[in-house]
Structure 1
Amino acid sequence: MPGRHVNDHQMRLYMKYRRTEGLSTAAARAGFSVATAYRIEQDLRLPSQKKAPRERRRPDPLAEIFDAEIVPVLQAAPGIRPVAVLEEMLRRHPSLSRTVRRTLERRIRDWRARHGEERDVIFRQVHEPGRLGLSDFTDMQSLGVSVAGSALDHRLYHFRLACSGFEHAHVILGGESYVALAEGLQNALWALGGAPREHRSDSLSAAFRNLDREARDDLTTRYEALCAHCGMQPTRNNRGVAHENGSIESPHGHLKNAIRDALLLRGSTEFIDLADYRRFVDEIVSRQNARNGKRIEAERPFLQPLPGQRTSDYEETRVYVTSTGGFTLRKVFYTVPSRLIGHRLRVRLYDDRRELFLGGTALMTLQRGRPGVNGKHGHVIDYRHVIHALRRKPMALMNLIYRDQLFPREAYRLTFDRLCEQMPPRTACKTMVELLSMAHERACEAQLAQELDRCLAQGQLPDLQALRSRFAPDPASVPQVHVQLASLRDYEALLSFDMEAAA
Structure 2
Amino acid sequence: MRGHAAFDDLAGYEAFVQEVVAYWRNRPAAARLAEERAVLHALPSAAIPSYTTYYPVVRRWSTIRVAHRTYSVPAQLMGHTVEARVHPNRVEVRYRDHLVQTMPRLRGEDEHRIDYRHVIGWLVRKPGAFARYRYREDLYPSVPFRRAYDALVRTHGERADVEYLRILHLAATAGEARVGEVLVAVLDQVGGFDYVTVQAQVAPPRLTVPVIHMAAPDLTVYDALRAGAAA
Q: Where on the TM-score scale, by shorter chain, does this alignment land: which range? A: 0.5 to 0.7
Q: Which residue of 2 aligns with 1:430?
A: 162
State the shift of 1:361 in Å: 1.9
State the shift of 1:328 in Å: 1.5
State the shift of 1:446 in Å: 0.5
Q: Which residue of 1 aligns with 2:81?
A: 344
Q: Does 1:199 align with 2:58?
A: no
**2:60 partner letter:** S
Distance 1:352 1:421, change over 3 A: farther
What is the alpha-carbon distance in structure 1 between the residues aligned to residue 191 and residue 68 of structure 2?
39
Q: Deviations over 1:290-330 (max 9, x none)?
A: xxxxxxxxxxxxxxxxxxx9864333222221222111123
Q: Does 1:462 align with 2:193?
A: yes
Normalising by structure 1, we get a TM-score of 0.32
Q: Which has the higher contact order (CA 8 A, sep 6+)?
A: 2
| SS of residue matched to 2:103 | strand
What is the alpha-carbon distance in structure 2 between the residues aligned to residue 473 and residue 188 of structure 1?
51
What is the alpha-carbon distance in structure 2 between the residues aligned to residue 336 and residue 459 of structure 1?
39
Unpaired stretches in structure 1, ≥5 consecutive residues: 1-135, 144-155, 160-167, 171-183, 190-195, 203-234, 239-308, 479-503
Q: Is the 8 A contact 1:327 1:333 kept in 2?
A: yes
Unpaired stretches in structure 2, ≥5 consecutive residues: 30-45, 208-231
State the shift of 1:356 in Å: 1.0
State the shift of 1:415 in Å: 1.3
| SS of residue matched to 1:354 | strand
What is the alpha-carbon distance in structure 1 between the residues aligned to residue 111 and residue 128 of structure 2?
23
Aligned length: 186
Indicate the RMSD between aligned Cα atoms, in angstroms: 3.8
Q: Which residue of 2 aligns with 1:83?
A: none
**2:168 partner letter:** L
Q: Which residue of 2 aligns with 1:300?
A: none
What is the alpha-carbon distance in structure 2 between the residues aligned to residue 236 and residue 408 of structure 1?
49
Distance 1:237 1:455, change over 3 A: farther
Q: Is the 8 A contact 2:50 2:87 kept in 1?
A: yes
Instruction: Pick one of 180, 183, 207 that aligns with 1:452.
Output: 183
What is the alpha-carbon distance in structure 1 between the residues aligned to residue 28 and residue 102 of structure 2?
37
State the shift of 1:422 in Å: 3.3
Distance 1:462 1:350, change over 3 A: farther
Q: Which residue of 1 aligns with 2:116?
A: 383
Q: Which residue of 2 aligns with 1:213?
A: none
State the shift of 1:455 in Å: 2.6
Normalising by structure 2, we get a TM-score of 0.65
Q: Which residue of 2 aligns with 1:441?
A: 173
Q: Is the 8 A contact 2:182 2:201 kept in 1?
A: no
Which aligned pairs between 1:83-482 and structure 2 lie closer than 5 A?
A: 169-170=12-13, 184=14, 199=22, 235=26, 312-371=49-108, 377-425=110-158, 427-442=159-174, 444-458=175-189, 461-472=192-203
Q: Deviations over 1:66-101 (max 9, x none)?
A: xxxxxxxxxxxxxxxxxxxxxxxxxxxxxxxxxxxx
What is the alpha-carbon distance in structure 2 between the residues aligned to residue 441 and residue 468 of structure 1?
11
What is the alpha-carbon distance in structure 1 between the residues aligned to residue 47 and residue 197 of structure 2?
54
Distance 1:200 1:451, change over 3 A: same
Which protein has the larger Cα radius of gyration, Structure 1 or Structure 2? 1
Q: Is the 8 A contact 1:347 1:357 kept in 2?
A: yes
State the shift of 1:379 in Å: 2.0
What is the alpha-carbon distance in structure 2 between the residues aligned to residue 398 and residue 454 of structure 1?
26
What is the alpha-carbon distance in structure 2 between the residues aligned to residue 410 and residue 342 of structure 1?
33
What is the alpha-carbon distance in structure 2 between the residues aligned to residue 438 and residue 387 of structure 1?
10
